[in-house]
Structure 1
Amino acid sequence: MARPTPISGFPEWLPHERMIEQHILDTIRNTFELHGFAPVETRAVEPLDQLLRKGETDKEIYVLRRLQAEEDDSEESVGLGLHFDLTVPFARYVLENAGKLQFPLRRYQIQKVWRGERPQEGRFREFYQADIDVIGKDRLPFHYEVEMPLVVADALARLPIPPIRIQANNRKIAEGFYRGLGIEDVTGVLRAVDKLDKIGPEQVHTLLVEQIGCTDEQARACLALARISAEDGSFADRVHELGAKDELLDEGLEELTRVVEAAREHAPGLLVADLRIARGLDYYTGTVYETQLRGHESLGSICSGGRYDNLASTEDETYPGVGISIGVTRLVSRLLGQNLLTVSRKVPTCVLVALPNEEARADCYRIAAALRRRGIAAEVAPEAVKYGKQIRFAERRGIPYVWFPQGESGGQEVRDIRSGEQRPADPDTWTPPAEDLYPLVTATGQ
């Protein structure tokens, strides 16, 4: 068999890299639970009509069918696709289970998603997202839009990563402003402005004039709005100076001011009002967020989301929500690619039980089992070779301790192979220092 070649866009980490990713996932999960969010997991596939009605995603969806699918297969005849985010499946989940859920529902969801994008740094075809959402029945108080960025900031602050900056806008500001200018294709303008970071203001201006039908003056005003940013409520005055008037604009300015001022009170410097943030998906209706890693702005947003009022709705009931999603794989890829994180050992094992001879293997298994019962990761050496080779086996993997069933004193002993210190030990009572119990993930240089 020829050596297989990787498929681009589908990352597979080495074991020690996966340990770093798992540490990040666990930290995020634990933080979400500290804030009272409960876990949800949804299926990987959704009907295509559900996926296609929620935004400009038709070119990104992977279609799913069996190789030998029957023509009369009712489920596959409607078309199934792999979910491209976790918000659309969650909205469907809420509608299906509304009678069993308590509202407002605080949910977190950590799963893989799939997008048919062109792979490049920070963009993958298969990747982990970690989402939180609060969803209500018929109404959802505005204060949850203030809470979202603070929860995510807490989760990311617990990781050994560079600081973040959250950029916030409100879709009502943009829509009200465009209407105040007399622009009819609000959605088209939003999608064009969302491309500012990718293609620059000149090309966006061209899109607005040639494809959306804006006048030159309207296009200049849209770009002027997108240039406004501030860490306090002063951005609202700068918007008013541009001259557009609309009730929806005023409502959005008031809401974004509350978000910015609350973040400024709880975490100064964390959040900035940035009116170029648009978010391309159609379902956002209020506050929207994007998050950058300071010093790594070229990576783009590692965390995004916003308010959605109509994503989950029936003829009789509406379930408005607000959520934010961390692009875990995007974050991990940058941290690993630039060697910004390190793990203290390549395996979870804390103790390697040395094997004097094959006849002693059963006794060594019992020692390892005694350690595991007390939460100490242990494994038995693979071969009964000279102790020097068994110690080197542990060193190559970063395992800090080697356990000798028969030490120099005649009884059991444990050696810290970093310092060479060896002392008598009992597997029913011995405990390593806390910093050695689990692999430690730290920023490089710490």
Structure 2
Amino acid sequence: MATKVTPISGFQEWLPADRIAEQIVLDTIREVFELHGFASINTRAMETVERLAGQGEDADKEIYGIRRLADPSGAAELGLHFDLTVPFARYVLENAGKLTFPFRRYQIQPAWRGERPQRGRYREFLQADIDIIDVGSLPDHYEAELLLVVADVFARLPIGDYRIHVNDRKICEGFYRGLGIEDVIGTLRVVDKLDKIGADGVRKLLLEAGCTDEQATQCLALAEISTADTGFVDQVRALGVTHELLDEGLAKLAAIIEVANEHAPGVVVADLRIARGLDYYTGTVYETMLEREPGYGSICSGGRYDALATDGKRTFPGVGISIGVSRLLGKLITEEGLTASRETPVAVLVAVNDEESRRDSMRVATALRSRGIPTLVAPKAAKFGKQIQFADRRGIPFVWFTGAGADEKGDQVKDLRSGDQVSADSGSWAPPEADLRPSLVLPESDAT
């Protein structure tokens, strides 16, 4: 009996060429992370619901609870992690005695959120995180360093113009306290909704939360400040609010902007509306927008957390930033047509003259693979035209002919794009470096 296949929304499943494009992006991210000295770890998919809950941004509502079908009435004690920072903090606590601090880790894994699937937001999604965590205290310079790592990643990918928007929660907290606002976290959450509900909506919520009209006006004025240099400091001072925490936050953010502008000019902007919805952030926060469509949402975000990992005796402050791989590729692949130059990693198809000589073709393939050349032996000893067609449809650039199949001239290899065919030896021939692996291809452009 036939079973109807019903799609499930909120998941990305790529066709082969797009999957290769995703892998190229992931390999690029991994390479850059390692160039900057980050070590890879992997954490389990599940955490206790107690650890996951209460982190803000409606996390409690979005957690996928895990329970056995055989126990339908039992409450879920475990849940799928909704980001990689919370499980990383737990990992550090469990392995603190075995880690060398400051510990620099990268992690590329899926996460899950039980929210309504929509453009750029998925139930299951890939994140690529880096974090630096230490014992007791963490120097501020790491907060600028993470921006440079992200800039290095994006410089190697065809993502177009982007900006990393940076703020420091201490600026907001000090400003709010200077205004006499006591519910700092609640105010941060409200202001963080600016892009979703606009200034009028935020003002209404602030007034409903107990702010005076003057306090609401000042909160919105702070959130409107955005500069590509340290000019934001004078603009904040001009608002006339004072608090020592505000001074600390302004100094830290100014230092970050100065470092970023020296090493990655034009990439970072100080944006005082950025707050981040997760409650564990305590200092610098980041969000990254594509210049061509800021409304698409952040493709890379994170921040500093000082108290997320603590065993009661020691605290492990950290700072991290996460590239939303699925969100980014949802834009680049699904909407803008980024793909790979071929749907297979194969660079060479070895033709088969007849089934009796298949072993000759297999020997050639083995020799090429031993030197790192992705190679496939033709599945059938069909006419050479059909074998060439088999390769061409998959984007395989070269076809190898052995012995008799090369008109008794010895082994030959044919470039299907130019039509050139030359004699070759399986022990020494290699394709051009650009053809060895698939590359990223943008619509209306050549391979990048």
TM-score by length of 2: 0.96
Q: Is the 8 A contact 2:128 2:325 kept in 1?
A: yes
Quote the offset at 1:340 in angstroms: 4.6
Match of 1:307 in 2: 304
Match of 2:152 in 1: 154
Q: Is the 8 A contact 1:108 1:133 kept in 2?
A: yes
Quote the offset at 1:55 in angstroms: 2.2
Mapped partners of 2:278, 2:115: distance in 1: 15
Q: Is the 8 A contact 1:175 1:248 kept in 2?
A: yes
Q: Is the 8 A contact 1:161 1:443 kept in 2?
A: no
Mapped partners of 1:369, 1:162: distance in 2: 40
Quote the offset at 1:78 in angstroms: 6.7
Match of 1:17 in 2: 18
Quote the offset at 1:373 in angstroms: 0.5
Quote the offset at 1:342 in angstroms: 3.4
Match of 1:5 in 2: 6
Match of 2:343 in 1: 346
Q: Is the 8 A contact 2:171 2:249 kept in 1?
A: yes
Q: Where do residues 204-283 of structure 1 align in structure 2 (5 Å cutoff)?
A: 204-210=202-208, 212-283=209-280
Q: Is the 8 A contact 2:66 2:76 kept in 1?
A: no
Quote the offset at 1:316 in angstroms: 0.6
Q: Which of 114, 117, 131 is the aligned partner of 1:116? A: 114
Match of 2:69 in 1: 67
Quote the offset at 1:177 in angstroms: 0.6
Which amino acid letter does the alignment assign opposite residue 265 of structure 1?
A: E
Match of 1:396 in 2: 393
Q: Is the 8 A contact 1:110 1:128 kept in 2?
A: yes
Mapped partners of 1:148, 1:356: distance in 2: 55
Q: Is the 8 A contact 1:351 1:399 kept in 2?
A: yes
Mapped partners of 1:31, 1:160: distance in 2: 15
In structure 1, runs of 5+ residues without a counterpart are none
Quote the offset at 1:358 in angstroms: 1.6
Q: Is the 8 A contact 1:170 1:252 kept in 2?
A: yes
Q: Is the 8 A contact 2:129 2:320 kept in 1?
A: yes
Q: Deviations over 1:156-176 (max 9, x none)?
A: 111122022010000001111
Q: Is the 8 A contact 1:122 1:330 kept in 2?
A: yes
Quote the offset at 1:120 in angstroms: 1.1
Which amino acid letter does the alignment assign opposite residue 96 of structure 2?
A: A
Q: Deviations over 1:194-225 (max 9, x none)?
A: 11111111111111111x21111111111110
Which amino acid letter does the alignment assign opposite residue 272 of structure 2?
A: L
Match of 1:96 in 2: 94
Match of 1:185 in 2: 183
Mapped partners of 1:311, 1:55: distance in 2: 13
Q: Is the 8 A contact 2:67 2:76 kept in 1?
A: no
**Corresponding pairs, count:** 441
SS at match of 1:94: helix
Match of 1:437 in 2: 436
Mapped partners of 1:181, 1:430: distance in 2: 73
Match of 1:326 in 2: 323
Mapped partners of 1:355, 1:297: distance in 2: 53
SS at match of 2:106: strand
Quote the offset at 1:362 in angstroms: 2.2
SS at match of 2:62: coil
Structure 1 residue runs of 4+, over 4 Å off?
none
TM-score by length of 1: 0.96
Q: Deviations over 1:81-129 (max 9, x none)?
A: 0000000000000000000000000100000000111111111110100
Q: Is the 8 A contact 2:93 2:309 kept in 1?
A: yes
Quote the offset at 1:132 in angstroms: 0.4
Match of 1:196 in 2: 194
Quote the offset at 1:288 in angstroms: 0.4
Quote the offset at 1:363 in angstroms: 2.1
Mapped partners of 2:284, 2:148: distance in 1: 14
Q: Is the 8 A contact 2:54 2:60 kept in 1?
A: no
Which amino acid letter does the alignment assign opposite residue 344 of structure 1?
A: S
Quote the offset at 1:69 in angstroms: 3.8
CA RMSD of aligned residues (A): 1.4
Q: Deviations over 1:386-432 (max 9, x none)?
A: 11011111111110111111302342111111111112211111111
Q: Deviations over 1:221-241 (max 9, x none)?
A: 111100001111111111111
In structure 2, runs of 5+ residues without a counterpart are none
Which amino acid letter does the alignment assign opposite residue 60 of structure 1?
A: E
Q: Is the 8 A contact 2:162 2:290 kept in 1?
A: yes
Q: Is the 8 A contact 2:391 2:397 kept in 1?
A: yes
Quote the offset at 1:339 in angstroms: 3.1
Q: Deviations over 1:337-392 (max 9, x none)?
A: 23352321111110111111122222222211111111011111111111101111
Q: Deviations over 1:314-336 (max 9, x none)?
A: 21100000000000011011001
Which amino acid letter does the alignment assign opposite residue 58 of structure 1?
A: D
Q: Kindly, what percent of the aligned residue pairs are identical?
A: 62
Which amino acid letter does the alignment assign opposite residue 331 of structure 2?
A: R
Match of 1:412 in 2: 411
Q: Is the 8 A contact 1:409 1:424 kept in 2?
A: no
Mapped partners of 1:421, 1:442: distance in 2: 24
Mapped partners of 2:71, 2:160: distance in 1: 48
Which amino acid letter does the alignment assign opposite residue 382 of structure 1?
A: P
Mapped partners of 1:112, 1:342: distance in 2: 21
